Structure 1
Amino acid sequence: MRANITDAGASGAGGSREPIPSLELFDSPRAWRMVAAAFVAMCAVYGVAYSFGAFFKPMAAEFGARRSATSAVFSITVLVWCVLGPITGHLSDRFGPRIVVATGAVVMGLGLALTSMIDRLWIGYITYGLGVGVGVACAYVPMVAVVGGWFLRRRNTALGIAVAGIGFGTIFGAPIAAALIAHLGWRATYVVFAIATAAILIGCAFIVERPPVHVTPSRVRLSEALRSPAFGFLYASSVTVSIVIFVPFVYLPSFARDRGASEFASAALVGIIGGASVVGRMGLGSMADRAGVVRLYQASFLVLALSYGIWLAAASYTMLIVFALVMGAGYGGYVALSPAVIAHLFGTNRMGTVLGALYTSGGIGAMVGPPIVGLIIDHTGSYRIAIACALAVAIASFALLIPLSRYEPAATKSSPVLD
């Protein structure tokens, strides 16, 4: 197969080609520093984003806002970071990740600081939604693309470790926020988060570097990738699975409380999902180095679908714990393997842009899934009907991935692509 030199370090639209780098750069200690920076950056931004539940009640109480109005702050934030993913990915591909991550640090820190001073909730839609949304967008896609570009042999393991930072952020972000709010109040806590997050992201921006130039088999251009059947199946399945992924984060605690669990035990279920997702991200990412990444990606969707069957049948708190563990593992695998599948099917050239385009699907799911489930519960008075609908959508998301195997690159079905 003809090989072409992909210049990941070219500047501008007409940058010159760089010489082929030494293979010693790939999978090197320098490459693992990129993994560490990505892990820390994702832990910071998602720790803040997923801690919003701790701010929910005090903000709603102070502004006298309805739950739907207050929860819109989070929904807008998710929409922003998903929609901006292709833009930050493209900017990182073109100008390098350092300036993009540093910009995210400034915008997120400023957004959190301004949120601490709002006197109307709708202003938080702008300050928090844009500030945190831009921060996540500037950290996630560029950093994942960087990690993918620095590895050949251990790429999937590296990606799994990097995105495990999301899970650790989920586990620790909310408890830290709750403790700070209890002592300082929600406004001062946002100031603390603003300073800490900005400092952490600036440090990560200082560490992160462009990936080395890649020698890759010829691949389709970006526009062809986005129009390909493989990307179409990936996007459709990601939209459908995103519709149900956010449902437990919103409704699982209230479901458990309605069945007699304490407030702490109910909230702990979300932490269990976060913990299990770490195992899924790191475990499946490592397994993908030895097994087919597409097959494992499909398996993650199947595990997610089966988990909603467990939730539907759950009659005890123990069964809800089982659901949280299984769902978290499948969710973690989905997040960890998405960038690995993009690299496998389309190569690492322009990976940030293609990956960002895929992640716009999450914004659709975030804005559609929880509100529809809430409407079903309000109109039927039944969680079970809503969970059954989520199960059906999760099964559909798995079914949409079944044809994906036929689009794997022929040269890489049995061995890793060194790109």
Structure 2
Amino acid sequence: MTAAHAVPRPAPEGLRGWVTVAAAFLSMTVVFAVAYSFGAFFAPMAAEFGSGSGATSVVFSVTACCWFLLGSVSGRAVDRFGPRPVLLLGAATLAAGLILTSIVQHLWVGYLTYGLGVGIAVACGYVPMVAVVGAWFDRRRALALAIAIAGIGVGTLVGSPLAAAVIAVQGWRQTHVVFGVAGAALLVLCAIAVRRPPAAQGAPALPIRELVRTRAFRSMYAATFLASLGLFVPFVFLPTYAAAAGVPPVAAAALIGVIGVASVLGRLAIGAIADRVGRIRMFQASFAVFAVSFGIWLVASALPALALPLLVAFAAVLGVGYGGWIALQPTVVAEMYGVRGLGGIVGLIYTAAGFGALLGAPLAGLIIDATGTFGWAIAAAGVSALAAFASLLPLPASG
């Protein structure tokens, strides 16, 4: 299946489309500022509940699994009902989940309150908005999606350092309340601003049964699963690793922010370049950069005297590769299958990321607990990332 399957009438790329891009940018900033700040909560929560690395990392893994698995539901919901009710649901679950997490007395309860609350919120603020922006644009789709998805990078930049600073003053429980109330209010603003795109013209979306039989879908699904096994290891463990290497806590948390800055730059630059030199080639290149980054982290683990500069380099390279991957995947999907039902297709592919997120960080935590070192976990994440790149090689070079 190629882009010739469904060639919609050029989408209107006017003011309403760009307002929707701004709303999508803000919604992704909010939900990922919360989700990717978990590394700052990791140590104080583990200390209070007396849990190990594996058990504590399950909180984040359940969250990521929820948002990716439920993305297939929220993506289809936005195709049917539009973005506004979906965003309002996300606001409600974000506030409820974080406020409830602030009063839990057992870690396993946090799996439910945080995992479902934040997981549903991200599912509502991410995949649906990607689909809406993709349907508003045609000629400048890669750039528009890159700008919108850059909100993930901004959220990554501000979330973890902000959480670390507030935790230092208020404690982790009150910080959850602050994040829940503020985040919900901003999502309501996004719901007010967002506009539903005009109905796409052209051939209808492929039925799921036919979609999953295509080689391109299988390649992207496998690559997304394998890359996600490695992706969430640094988001959960990098601040803890850096602190153990002697980096001050706020600076250690700020490494997640470096990933965010680099991912913003990667999304914008790669998104703009991809519209000119080929979206699929740039998509594959992003995975290659992502895989290379884990080699830098391994070098940092072998050279503790240079830990901080090497960790900054790792975070920057990881961010560029990860940013390009996330920015271009919806564009590649639209190029392959058209924009009809884009939310459902992107959400279906992201179920692979849900399975990878559920397994990756807990397995890394078990390896760390068993070996007493981070090295083997880092190596395993790097191998998964390299396998993800190899999985994309069958994609056609055009596009």
Q: TM-score, normalised by structure 1?
A: 0.87
Question: Equivalent residue for 2:383?
Answer: 392
Alpha-carbon distance between aligned partners in 1 of 2:143 and 2:285, rounded to the nearest angstrom: 17
1:203 maps onto 2:203 in alignment: no
Question: Equivalent residue for 1:355?
Answer: 346
Question: Equivalent residue for 2:264?
Answer: 278
Alpha-carbon distance between aligned partners in 1 of 2:155 and 2:326, rounded to the nearest angstrom: 14
Query: Taking CA–CA contacts closer than 8 Å with sequence separation of 6 or more, which of the two structures ends up with the larger relative contact order?
Result: 2
Structure 2: state its 5+ residue gaps: none
Q: Which moved more, 1:248-257 or 1:25-34?
A: 248-257
Alpha-carbon distance between aligned partners in 1 of 2:145 and 2:50, rounded to the nearest angstrom: 43
Query: Which letter maps to 2:322?
Result: Y
Which SS does the other structure have where 2:201 is aligned?
strand
Q: Which moved more, 1:54-63 or 1:86-95?
A: 54-63
1:172 maps onto 2:158 in alignment: yes
Give yes or no for contact 1:177–1:189 (8 Å, CA) kept in 2.
yes
Question: Equivalent residue for 2:293?
Answer: 307
Structure-2 change in CA distance of 1:43 and 1:185 (3 Å): same
Question: Equivalent residue for 1:416?
Answer: none
Question: Equivalent residue for 1:268?
Answer: 254
More helix by share: 2
Q: Which moved more, 1:53-62 or 1:352-361?
A: 53-62
Which SS does the other structure have where 2:276 is aligned?
coil
1:34-92 CA distance string (max 9 Å, x none): 00000000111111111122223333343344443332221111111111010111111
1:106 maps onto 2:92 in alignment: yes
Q: Which moved more, 1:303-312 or 1:344-353?
A: 303-312
Aligned-residue Cα RMSD (Å) equals: 2.3
Structure-2 change in CA distance of 1:50 and 1:211 (3 Å): same
Question: Equivalent residue for 1:11?
Answer: none
Which SS does the other structure have where 2:54 is aligned?
helix
Alpha-carbon distance between aligned partners in 2 of 1:371 and 1:246, rounded to the nearest angstrom: 10
Query: Which letter maps to 1:353?
Result: G
Identity %: 51
Question: Equivalent residue for 2:356?
Answer: 365
Matches within 5 A, 1:149-298: 149-216=135-202, 220-298=206-284
Which SS does the other structure have where 2:394 is aligned?
helix
Match of 1:334 among 325, 328, 333: 325
1:288-342 CA distance string (max 9 Å, x none): 2212111000000011111122222333232222222111100111111111111
What is the CA-CA distance between 1:382 and the residue it aligns to? Answer: 4.7
Query: Which letter maps to 1:361?
Result: A
Give yes or no for contact 1:2–1:217 (8 Å, CA) kept in 2.
no
Structure-2 change in CA distance of 1:187 and 1:266 (3 Å): closer
What is the CA-CA distance between 1:187 and the residue it aligns to? Answer: 2.8
Alpha-carbon distance between aligned partners in 1 of 2:148 and 2:373, rounded to the nearest angstrom: 39
Greater C-alpha Rg: 1
Structure-2 change in CA distance of 1:218 and 1:195 (3 Å): closer
Structure-2 change in CA distance of 1:251 and 1:117 (3 Å): closer
Give yes or no for contact 2:46–2:53 (8 Å, CA) kept in 1.
yes
Which SS does the other structure have where 1:395 is aligned?
helix
Match of 2:64 among 75, 78, 82: 78
What is the CA-CA distance between 1:4 and the residue it aligns to? Answer: 7.5
What is the CA-CA distance between 1:203 and the residue it aligns to? Answer: 1.4
Alpha-carbon distance between aligned partners in 1 of 2:106 and 2:235, rounded to the nearest angstrom: 26
Structure-2 change in CA distance of 1:5 and 1:161 (3 Å): closer
What is the CA-CA distance between 1:224 and the residue it aligns to? Answer: 1.7
Alpha-carbon distance between aligned partners in 1 of 2:100 and 2:72, rounded to the nearest angstrom: 26
Structure-2 change in CA distance of 1:2 and 1:123 (3 Å): closer
Give yes or no for contact 1:148–1:155 (8 Å, CA) kept in 2.
yes
